[in-house]
Amino acid sequence: MAATTNPLHGTQNSSDLPVSSKTITIAGILVDVHGLDELPASPSSVACLWLLNPRLQTKETMAPIARRVISTWNKRVQDGRAGMRPKGLIAAAFDQRNHGSRKVDDLHNQAWREGNETHAQDMFGCFHGTATDTSQLINHLESYIFTAKDSPKIQQHFALGISLGGHATWHCLLGDPRITAGVVGIGCPDYTRLLTDRARLSKRKTYKDTTPPGSAFLGSPDFPQALQDAIAQYDPAGLLLPGMFNPLGDDTPPDQAQLTRMKALIKEKLQGKRILNLSGQADKLVPYSAGEPFYKIFKQVLAEDSSLDIVFEDVLFEGVEHAFPQPMADKAAEWLCDILATDDGPVSSKIYSTFMFLLLCYQRPHHLALSFISILVSTRPAMTNTPAPKHRIPRYHAFSTPEEQEAFIDMADSLDTSDSAAPPSPTLTEISLLHQEMNPKPWRDIEPNECPHEPNSLPGPKHDSSGRLTTMLTLYDLAMSCEEIEEADWDEYITPYEPDDLEMLERSFPRECWPPEIEASWPNLIVLARWKTLSQGSKIIVEHS
C-alpha cells in the first residue's frame, strides 16, 4: 500500500474557537488534554473524549477534532442548548503505540508494500494496545487534572478514532464499560476480511501462490494462527461472528445458535452504548465493503431486540476516499453533543465505580415489611426535583397501585417470622423471588429530604434520553449478581467495608438528612455491594451486622 496521507487534512474549520491544550505525562505516556481552561465554573460533571490518531500520524493530528467538538459543545452551553445541568467537556489525545513520541521502529508502522513483513501483526497489536492504553489512562487522568476537593468528576468517557484509531475505537467500546459512546471514523470492525483483501491487492505470495488464490492465506506467516486467536478474542467480527468469513466465496450465514451467542455477547459488552460509524464510499484503503457483512448482521440483531438499547448509526459519505473531511467532523461533533445534552450519565449496562447500600428495615416484630433504598453514590450526584410517586412502601419504593403495595406487604408477611424476638433476614433467594413475583417499578424519582444544611444533597437516579432508568441497581439485580456465588464459600466474599465508603455516602447524603426509618435501621445494615471494573468482574462484598 502507498504511504498513508493524513486523513484529517482539510478538517480544520476556520470558525472553530481556540481551545486550550496542556500536555501531561501519565504512566510514561504524553497526553494532550484540551479544553481545561474553557470548562464552566461549576459543571455538574465532566465528560472526556478520547482521540485516537490515524496510522503514521500523531496526537497533534487530532487537535482540530478536539477544537471542533469542544467549541461546538461550549457554544451550546452558552446558548442554553446543553440540557438542564450542563456538563463540561474536555478531550484527551495521546500517540498510538509506535507513533509520535512513542515511536520505536518506523518500519513496523508500514504496510507490506513498504517492506514490513509483519504488517498484519504490527497493526493489530498497535491499535489493540492503544485501546488498552486508553483504559489505563482513564484510570488515572482525573488524579492529574482534578486534584482539589471541590474539583468536578469525570463521569462520562467517549472515544473518537480515525483510520487506525477507528479500529481502536471498536476495541475501546467492546473492552471498557466506561466508554459509553464512540465515533468510528473510516475504521473497520472485521480485521480478518480487511487484511485478506489487502493481501490480495498487495499480491502477497501467501495469497496469490495458492490454488485457489487466498485458500491458504489464513494461517500463513502473513496471518498466523496466533494472530487469528487474538482477533477472535478482541476484534468485533472475530469475537461476535467467528467463522463467518469465507475468503474463497460467499460467507457462511450464522445459524440461530451463533446469533444467540452473538446477542449474548453484544448484551454483555455493548448494551446501552451509542456508536456512530462514518465511512467513505470511495475509500480503497479501508473499504466499506470490508465491514459491510458485519454491519448487516449487527443491525439485524439490534433491530430484533430493542432491549439491547444500542444506537448504531451508519453513515456512508458519497465520493469520500480514505479521509475524514469537514462534513464528517461536523457530523461527529453534533452527534457527540447531542448525547452530552440528553444523557445524565453513563448509558452502559455495567455500573462502574458505584456503591449501593441495601437497607432492610423491620417495621414491627411480627410484620416484616421489606424496606430498602438504593443510593447511587458520587461526589457530585445528579439530582431530580420531580415529586416522588404517590404510592410507596416505604417512601422510597414505588408501586403503580395501592393493590401492588398491599400485595407486597402480604408477600413479606409470608416469610418465616417465627422468632418474634428477632425477625429473620430474608435470604437472597427469597428476596429475588419476592422481587420477581411483584416486580414493582424501580425508583423513578427520589425526592430530596428537607435538610437545612444540604437540601439537594440526595443522589437521584440517572435516566437516558427516553426517560428510562439506566444506572440504578435494583434488589433483583443484586440477587442475580449473587446467584453464582451463593453456593460458594462465603468467607471469600465477606469483607469489612472501608471507611471511605461510609464517608462518601455521608458526604453525598448527610447523616442528619436521613429519614427516621433509615436512621433506625442503621444497626441492621446487612449488605454492602460494590461493583468492580469489567476487567475484574463484578464482585459482591458482604458485611454482616
Dump pLDDT digits (tens) for 286-343: 999 999 999 999 999 999 999 999 999 999 999 999 999 999 999 999 999 999 988 6
Sequence ranges of the domains in the chain: 21-188+275-342, 355-530
Give per-residue pLDDT as tens, 349-402. 333 322 233 322 333 333 323 333 333 223 223 333 333 222 222 222 334 455
Per-residue pLDDT at 40: 87
Per-residue pLDDT at 15: 64
> How far does the chain reach from its first CA to its final CA, in angstroms?
66
Q: Which residues pair with 325 in a beta bridge?
A: none
Amino acid, single-letter form, for residue 436:
Q
> Sorting pLDDT into bands at 50, 70 and 90, what band is 124?
very high
Q: What percent of the chain has pLDDT over 90?
A: 54
> Sorting pLDDT into bands at 50, 70 and 90, what band is 212?
very high
User: Which CATH class, in words, describes the domain spanning 21-188+275-342?
Assistant: alpha beta
Does residue 201 have a pLDDT over 50? yes
> Sorting pLDDT into bands at 50, 70 and 90, what band is 411?
low
Per-residue pLDDT at 249: 84
Per-chain mean pLDDT for the chain: 72
C-alpha cell at 527: 449488605
Give per-residue pLDDT as tens, 227-255. 999 999 999 999 999 989 988 888 989 99
Please name the residue that has the C-alpha cell 508500514.
110
Per-residue pLDDT at 83: 75
Does residue 210 have a pLDDT over 80? yes
Of the listed ranges 83-92, 283-292, 443-452, 480-489, the one predicted with least confidence: 443-452
Nearest of 526, 543, 527, 541 to residue 422 by alpha carbon: 526
Which has more pLDDT, 464 or 261?
A: 261
Write 104-110 long-range contacts (CB < 8 A, 24+): 109/55, 109/56, 110/3
Q: At what angle do helices 225-234 and 164-175 cross, to 10 degrees?
A: 60
For residues 81 and 334, what is the distance between their CA atoms, to the nearest angstrom?
A: 12
Give per-residue pLDDT as tens, 451-463. 222 322 223 333 3
Does residue 171 have a pLDDT over 80? yes
> Sorting pLDDT into bands at 50, 70 and 90, what band is 112?
very high
* Torsion over CA: 154, 165, 273, 476 (sign): negative
> Sorting pLDDT into bands at 50, 70 and 90, what band is 407?
low
Please name the residue that has the C-alpha cell 468482574.
537
Q: Using an 8 Å Cβ cutoff, are 422 and 545 in contact?
A: no
- DSSP-derived letter for residue 234 is H
For residues 129 and 146, what is the distance between their CA atoms, to the nearest angstrom?
A: 26
> Nearest 5°: phi and psi at 10?
90, 5
Per-residue pLDDT at 527: 30
For residues 375 and 358, what is the distance between their CA atoms, to the nearest angstrom?
A: 8
Give per-residue pLDDT as tens, 67-87. 999 999 999 998 888 877 889
Mean of pLDDT values over 419-428:
36
Distance of CA 118 to the CA centre of its chain: 32
